[in-house]
Amino acid sequence: MNKSLIFILLAGLLASCDEAATYKKQAVDGIQYMAIGSDGDGCMRYQIKSTSQMSAQVILYKTIDGGYTPNKKMSLCSF
């Protein structure tokens, strides 16, 4: 098993186990990403939040590189 695969599996495990965290924050230009629970596949969903601005009301998923995407097929849980 190569290192990449191990990393993917670990990241996927982490992503599916953080339901207890109400907020999963990542500071990117003041934007925060709030975990709002898993979908039917066990894939954690996030919502963009900003304390000072309004935000798009679209569901995001985590990517393999720790970022976020609205495209579940490109997300970590699709690997």
Partner 1 sequence: MSALLLSGCGGGGGGGSSSNVAPTPVPVAADYRTTEYNTQYGLGKINADDIYADGYSGSGVVVGVIDTGVDIDHPDLVSNIASGGYDYVDTDADASPVSQGVGMSHGTHVAGIIAGMKNDVGMHGVAYSAKILPLRAGNSAGSFASSAIENSIDRAISQNAKVINASFGGSSIATSLADKWKSAHTNDIITVHAAGNDGGANPLLGAQLPLHAGYTDLSSTLVAVVAVDSNNTITSYSNRCGDAKNWCMAAPGDSIYSTVAVDDSNYASNYGTMSGTSMADPHVAAAAAILRGKWPSKNASEIVTILYDTATDLGDTGVDAIYGRGLLNLDNALFAQGALTISVASGGSHLLGDSTISVASTLGNALNGSFGITIFDRYKRDYAYDMSQLVRHKAHANIENELNFVDNSRSVEIDDLWLKVNQSDQSLKLQAKLKGFDLGFAHNTDFSEVEMDGFSSQYSVSKNAQFASLNSGSSIMIGRPNLSLGLATGYVGVDDRHPAKKLNLSLKTKPTKALSMAVQLGHIQEEETFLANYFSGAYKTGKSNTNTLDFTIKSKLTNDAELILKHAQGVTQVSSLNDSVVSNVSNLKSQQYSATFMNNNNFYKDDVLFATMKKPMHITQGDMTLHMANGLNADDSVSFLDRVVLLSAVDLKTELTVGYSAEYAKDSQITAAYNRINLFNTDLTIDNQFMLKFNQKF
Residue 8 near partner 1 by CB under 8 A:
no
CB of 29 to partner 1, least distance (A): 6
Sequence-distant contacts of 6-11: CB under 8 A, at least 24 apart: 8/64, 8/76, 8/79, 11/64, 11/76
CB of 21 to partner 1, least distance (A): 15
Residue 44 near partner 1 by CB under 8 A:
no
Compute φ and ψ for 5, nearest 5 degrees: -65, -40
List residues near partner 1 by CB under 8 A: 28-31, 34, 36-37, 45, 47-48, 50, 53-60, 67-74
